[in-house]
């Protein structure tokens, strides 16, 4: 049962028992996927969508020379390719950044939800619109924010999203990503990411030991990032 997905959707509109059952019935038993594997390949036309139950993955687009740009980091509770129900073939890929547990939901089962559960359908539709809002924020970051502002914004966003699914408390969370992967998320080199991380530490904004992140001064980090969480729609129910 994708409990994190239910928790996230419930923040935006109450789910009835029949809707919870519909989600449960739509998702297949979980499977484990190692790090570095494609959950979705570019130009593929999948017959199912995938819920991330644990771990981290990323949506990406690659250039012919192998360089890639992440356009979103996915966390537990995310439907990483729900839009594949309507958008095929896929114009991007989704890769696991850590070992992940996932559950597939066939497109046939998702179509039945759209036919039988209009409120749940609106919540899932809103989830794909929030993905688009995240993409817009990342586009602004790459195009207009400083490297330091970009890094600060990514950390603020992940902290808020992880808190919704119980994976961040008091601005402390696990982030088992390499500096190269963080660079792919921000359009920066790993060397640049290392320098920015040192700057954030030196300014007393952040502790980062191994995979453990602790934001020391949330308000200053928010100011640096110009972070406004409204685009994540944390409490708005659809009309």
Torsion of CA 199, 141, 5, 47, to 10 degrees: -130
Q: Is 210 exposed, middle or buried (0-12, 13-18, 19+ CB in 10 A)?
A: exposed
CATH number reported for the structural domain that contains residue 95 in this entry: 2.60.120.10
Q: Which residues of 124-148 are buried (b: 16+ CB within 10 A; e: fewer)?
A: bebbeebbeebeebbeebeeebebb
Q: Which two tokens stand for residue 6?
A: 């239910």
User: Is 73 found in the same domain as 133?
Assistant: yes
- Whether 33 and 77 share a structural domain: yes
Under 8 Å between Cβ of 126 and 197: no
- Tens digit of pLDDT per residue, the chain (239 long)? 568 999 899 988 899 999 999 999 999 999 999 999 999 999 999 999 999 999 999 999 999 998 999 999 999 999 999 999 998 999 999 999 999 999 999 999 999 999 999 999 999 999 999 999 999 999 999 999 999 999 999 999 999 999 999 999 999 999 999 999 999 999 999 999 999 999 999 999 999 999 999 999 999 999 999 999 999 988 655 44
Q: Which domain holds residue 210?
A: 147-232
Examine residue 239 and state whether it is found in any structural domain, yes or no: no
Q: How many domains does the chain have?
A: 2
The three-state DSSP-derived secondary structure of 40-88 is ECCCCCCCEEEEEEECCEEEEEECCCCCEEEEEEECCCCECCHHHHCCC
Same domain (yes/no): 173, 218: yes
Claim to verify: residue 114 and residue 167 sit in the same structural domain: no
**Strand pairing class (68-74; 57-62):** antiparallel
Query: Which of these three, 137, 170, 199, is where a domain ends?
Result: 137
Give the domain-ending residue among 72, 105, 137. Answer: 137
Q: How far apart are CA 116 and CA 114, in angstroms?
A: 6
Q: Which of 86, 76, 62, 77 is nearest to 176 (CA)?
A: 76
73, burial (CB in 10 Å: exposed 0-12, middle 13-18, buried 19+): buried
What's the pTM value of the predicted model, to 2 decimals? 0.94
The answer to whether residues 77 and 7 touch, using CB atoms and an 8 Å cutoff, is: yes
């Amino acid at each position: 049962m994708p409990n994190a997905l239910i928790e996230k959707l419930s923040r935006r509109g109450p789910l009835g028992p029949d809707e919870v059952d519909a989600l449960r019935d739509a998702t297949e038993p979980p499977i484990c996927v190692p790090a570095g594997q494609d959950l979705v390949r570019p130009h593929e036309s999948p017959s199912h969508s995938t819920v991330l139950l644990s771990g981290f993955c990323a949506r990406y687009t690659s250039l012919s020379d192998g360089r890639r740009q992440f356009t979103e980091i996915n966390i537990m509770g995310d439907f990483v390719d729900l839009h594949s129900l309507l958008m095929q073939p896929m114009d991007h890929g989704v890769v696991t950044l850590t070992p992940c547990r996932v559950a597939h939901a066939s497109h046939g089962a998702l179509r039945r939800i759209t036919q039988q559960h209009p409120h749940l359908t609106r919540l899932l539709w809103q989830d794909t619109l929030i993905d688009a809002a995240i993409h817009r924020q990342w586009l602004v970051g790459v195009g207009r924010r400083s490297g330091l502002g970009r890094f600060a914004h990514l950390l603020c966003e992940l902290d808020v999203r992880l808190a919704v699914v119980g994976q961040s408390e008091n601005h402390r969370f696990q982030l088992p990503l390499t500096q190269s992967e963080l660079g792919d998320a921000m359009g920066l080199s790993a060397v640049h990411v290392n320098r920015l991380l040192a700057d954030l530490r030196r300014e007393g904004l952040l502790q980062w030991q191994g995979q453990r992140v602790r934001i020391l001064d949330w308000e200053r980090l928010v100011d640096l990032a110009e972070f406004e969480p409204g685009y994540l729609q944390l409490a708005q129910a659809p009309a």
